[in-house]
Structure 1
Amino acid sequence: MVRSSVASMFFHESTLSEIFATVAASSLDTMEFWPETPSFWLYGMPMDLLDRCRSLYSSMDPMTVHVPILDLNPCSMNPKVAAASREYSAAAIRFADRIGAGVVTVHPGRRTAKRPPGPDEYTRFEVLIDLLREEANRSWVRVAIENMENKVNYLLCTPKAVRALLDREPWLYFTLDVSHAMGTSVESVLEYIELCSDRLVNVHLSRSENGVMHLPMQGHPDSQRVLEALAEQGYQGNLTLEIEDLRFDHTLSREEKVALLNEEERFIARFFV
């Protein structure tokens, strides 16, 4: 059975308690928790508060986790940035293990300059993979690599590249970011599903149109094609709404966010009866 979810960063300005209460007020099952959620990250990652929220809303367990990515890049040409990024990724796996999360999603990184990745970037990427493998072997959490936008300096931005990595690393899982892939075409999304569905454990659901990413899914023909393809493959993992709340013409209230999440969930549920 699929579990409907939303990224905690959709509630960027909210307190941790408000985030949990708002997700609980919606029809969603759970949440993808970003340690960089400001009300958690900027206050020293207070685990006691997170534990209290999880206890109050225990039906959300297991959540999923996304590694920190803001200002970070494990393939950076700056060795200190690359090292810090790898350590945050490893720490996120330990954090996910600590809260009993089922999946932790990792970004592969990019070349710092807007040029095609070269040997240096791929060497740094291999250092990341080695570290993730070590952490995965010590954890019950499934570590999932995410596909990136098909931009000149990004790694893992084609279905074949992700499939080749999964074939090489049997411990590794996959998070499909629909908006990243849809920036190329909806056919690219469908190719990811066809090639990588056997290792797919999380799907970041949002739409891309005319270069604008992380739009709502509901009602659009491209969204329908993606959800139909996932259902036809028998997907049974997390469906995580990753919507940018700044894409709207005004600041959404709590009630409007709940209503939007409910509309998205109803649209998605039509394909997973």
Structure 2
Amino acid sequence: MVRLAVSSMFFHEYPIDEIFASVDEAGLTGIEFWIETPHFWLRDLPTGDLTAAVHAHPSLAPITVHAPVLDLNPCSINPRVAAASQQYAVEAVALAEEAGAEVLTVHPGRRTAKRTPSAYDYERFEAYLARLHEAAKGRRVRVAIENMEPKVNSLLCTPEGVREVLDANPWLDFTLDVAHAMSVSAGEVCRYIDLCIDRIVNVHLSAVENGKMHLQVRGSQEAAAVVRALTRAGYDGCLTLEIEDRNFTHPLSLEEKITLLQGERTFLEGCLS
């Protein structure tokens, strides 16, 4: 059964327990917890606080987790940056397992220079995947790599590229980022679904308008079409709302964020019915 979730980064400035309580109040049934959520990240990753929040809100469990990606690049040409980035991702596997998460989403990295990725960049990418594979062995959490925006230095930004990586790594799953794909076209999203549906375990869902990404989905016919296409294809994982709260005309209060999510939930439930 499809679960409706939201990224914890929508509640960027709030403490962990308040984030979980707000998502619960909005009537959603899941949450993607970003390890870089400030109240968690800046307090040295208090995993006990996260597991306590999960246990206090069983309707949101199992959660999904997003590995650290800000300021990081696991395929960096700088060996120290690459090593630190990979280590954060490896440690995120254990953290997600401890929190009882079903999916950990990771980013693929990128070529450091704004140029087409070279063979050397893909060698570093393969080494990164090998480290993730080793970290995931014997664990219940599923590691899912995310498609990126189609920029010149992106390592993973086409349906065919994702399929190739999935075929080469049977242990690996896929998080479909709709906004990243929609920046090409609505048809690109459908191509990801057609090629990769057997490995999609999480979907980052938001609307795109006039080049602006991570907008709310309520009223978006393109977002509705994506949800229906996923349903027809048999998808039954999380639909995770990725909404950028800075896209609104004023800073949203906590109550406004909860109300907005209630509207998103109603809209998506209509798409799924």
The bucket for the TM-score relative to the shorter chain is over 0.9
Q: Any idea what SS the aligned residue of 2:229 has?
A: helix
| Residue in structure 2 matched with residue 196 of structure 1 by the alignment | 196
Name the counterpart of 1:163.
163
Instruction: Return 136-145 or 186-195, whichever deviates more.
Output: 136-145
> Counterparts of 1:80 and 1:139 in 2: how far apart (Å)?
27
How far apart, in 2, do the equivalents of 1:59 and 1:237 lie?
A: 15
CA contact (8 A) 1:105 1:143 kept: yes
Q: Which moved more, 1:152-161 or 1:49-58?
A: 49-58
**Cα distance in 2 for residues equivalent to 1:112 and 1:124:** 12
Is the Cα–Cα contact under 8 Å of residues 180 and 208 in structure 1 kept in the other structure?
no
Matched residue, 1:83: 83
Report the Cα offset of residue 244 of structure 1.
0.5
* C-alpha contact (below 8 Å) 2:47/2:95 kept by paired residues: no
Native 8 Å contact 1:231 1:271 kept in 2: no
The code of the aligned residue for 1:12 comes to: H
Number of residues paired by the alignment? 273
2:213 is aligned to 213
Contact 2:228 2:271 in 1 (8 A): yes
Equivalences for 1:1-273 in 2 at 5 Å?
1-273=1-273
Helix, strand or coil at the partner of 1:124? helix
**What is the CA–CA distance in structure 1 between the aligned matches of 2:47 and 2:232, rounded to whole Å?**
40
2-side partners of 1:144 and 1:182: how far apart?
Answer: 19
2: CA distance, partners of 1:108 / 1:52: 30
Residue ranges of structure 1 left out of the alignment (5+ in a row): none
Shift of 1:59: 2.3
Aligned to 1:184, the other structure's residue is in SS state coil
CA distance in 2: counterparts of 1:20 and 1:138, whole angstroms: 29
Tell me, yes or no, if the aligned pair for 1:144 and 1:173 is still in contact at 8 Å. yes
CA distance in 2, matches of 1:14, 1:24: 15
* C-alpha distance in 2 between matches for 1:271 and 1:141: 29
Instruction: Report the TM-score when normalising by structure 1.
Output: 0.97
In structure 1, distance between residues paired with 2:252 and 2:62 = 27
Per-residue CA deviation, residues 27-78 of structure 1 (Å, 9 max, x unaligned), is 1001001110000100111123223222221222110000000000111111
2:140, 2:61 → 1: CA distance? 15
Q: Contact conserved, 1:16 with 1:39, CA < 8 A, in 2?
A: yes
Q: Equivalent residue of 2:72, what SS?
A: coil
Note the C-alpha offset of 1:194.
0.8
CA RMSD of aligned residues (A): 1.0
Secondary structure at 2:264 match in 1: helix
Q: Is the 8 A contact 2:67 2:88 kept in 1?
A: yes
What SS does the corresponding residue of 2:69 show, helix, strand or coil?
coil
**Quick check: 1:147–1:158 contact (8 Å CA) kept in 2?**
yes
Using the TM superposition, give the Cα deviation of residue 266 of structure 1 relative to its aligned residue in structure 2, in angstroms. 1.2
Contact 2:47–2:99 at 8 Å: present in 1 too? no
1:212 deviates by 1.2
* TM-score, normalised via structure 2 length: 0.97
CA contact (8 A) 2:144 2:173 kept: yes
- For 1:237 and 1:189, the matched residues in 2 are separated by 17
**Structure 1 residue identity aligned to 2:172:** L
Once residues 220 and 239 of structure 1 are traced to their aligned partners in structure 2, the CA distance between those partners, rounded to angstroms, is 15
> Structure 2: which amino acid aligns with 1:238?
C
After TM superposition, the structure 1 stretch with the greater mean CA deviation from structure 2, 55-64 or 92-101, is 55-64
Q: Is the 8 A contact 1:178 1:204 kept in 2?
A: yes
Q: CA deviation at 1:265?
A: 1.2
Give 1:112's aligned amino acid. T
Asked if structure 2 preserves the Cα contact closer than 8 Å seen for 1:145 and 1:175, the reply is yes
CA distance in 2 between counterparts of 1:147 and 1:185 reads 14
